[in-house]
Structure 1
Amino acid sequence: MPWEALTEALEALAPAQQIGVILPNSVPFAALAPFLPQLSLVAIAFPAYADGRGFSLARQIRRADFTGEIRASGPLIADQFAYALSCGFDTIELPEASAARQPVPQWLHARESFSATYQRGYEATERNILDQRRAAKAAGRLAAERA
């Protein structure tokens, strides 16, 4: 369902029914938030791989405790896969031309290539690179003081 038709479609549904929406990555989270309880899928359109607004939107949606599927739709590249997953995306829908250039094995390899992030708050079990560096420096200072 396109973003522009969401309000009308939700009014026509029974209260317990849920639907999915395709929205531009330029939609502010505040505009989407009231609809989240009635959505089972949020597909965020990426007009280009270099337009990262969809990553921020996905992160805001997950932080609002949305448990449905979040899908990135557009010409992303495999190098963005690990970051997309850490932002809260469940699936990536690629145009045929993009999928032909980077087949599934390339995406799976890219997912495993990154073990840490630069941003805080994306991985629940791992510290980000900055925190790891700070901890290493502090441990080095502590070892030097004891020597």
Structure 2
Amino acid sequence: MPLLDRHGAKTEIWTRSEGAAIDNISHALVDWAALPEALAQKTRDQRIGVVIPNTVRIPQLKLLMRQLSLIAISFPSFGDGRGFSLARLIRNHGFTGTLRASGPLIADQFAYAIACGFDEVELPEASAARQPVEQWVNALGQISHGYQRGYGDSGNILDRRRSARLKHVAAG
């Protein structure tokens, strides 16, 4: 599956593991169900990543986050936004590793994914064929301000409007 970040196409360094079999894999990506066993087998030099459903609760994940280098949140469809909320919660709870959105997202969601804390997006082949990498990178620059507080670093539209109104009143 194609992988991209804010700069474009990216080379995959993670190897998906069947179950918890992580022998001789430097960057092992396991499913949520296999994570406890994989962590028990982990050697000092290995990096462990996990693919989680977008229904995982933070208390279930929080105790394991320090042991993970990558968390990939599955998106069953582009219309299911629970993964965006989960990404924000994961970042708010201190996860500093790589956060990946995995599933059939669309380019219009790329800026929001980055603002929610995702570092990269992994697309199914069919999604990548419909919207090439250049379209994703261009879409990233199309949205300069969001409506929600706490997403991105440019401030939100409502706070900017309020600030402009106060400056106008103070000047007038």
> TM-score, normalised on structure 1?
0.92
Contact 1:49/1:77 (8 A) holds in 2: yes
Equivalences, count: 143
CA-to-partner distance for each residue in 1:60-98, whole Å, 9 max, x for gaps?
A: 111222121111000000000001001111110111111
Find the residue that maps to 2:134 and give its secondary structure. Answer: helix
1:128 to 147, 156, 161: 156
Is residue 71 of structure 2 the alignment partner of residue 42 of structure 1?
A: yes
Contact 1:59/1:87 (8 A) holds in 2: yes
- Aligned CA RMSD, in angstroms, stands at 1.3
CA-to-partner distance for each residue in 1:7-56, whole Å, 9 max, x for gaps?
A: 12212224674300001011111111110011011010000001111111
Is residue 121 of structure 2 the alignment partner of residue 89 of structure 1?
A: no
CA distance in 2, matches of 1:29, 1:57: 8
> TM-score, normalised on structure 2?
0.79
Unaligned runs of 5+ in 1: none
Contact 1:17/1:38 (8 A) holds in 2: no
Is residue 82 of structure 2 the alignment partner of residue 57 of structure 1?
A: no
Find the residue that maps to 1:118 and give its secondary structure. Answer: coil
Higher helix share: 1
Following TM superposition, the consecutive aligned residue runs of length 4 or more in structure 1 with deviations greater than 6 angstroms are none
Unaligned runs of 5+ in 2: 1-29
Identity of aligned residues (%): 58
CA distance in 2, matches of 1:18, 1:119: 34
Cα deviation, residue 142, structure 1: 1.5
Is residue 171 of structure 2 the alignment partner of residue 138 of structure 1?
A: no
CA distance in 1, matches of 2:157, 2:73: 28
Higher relative contact order (CA 8 A, sep 6+): 2
CA distance in 2, matches of 1:17, 1:101: 35
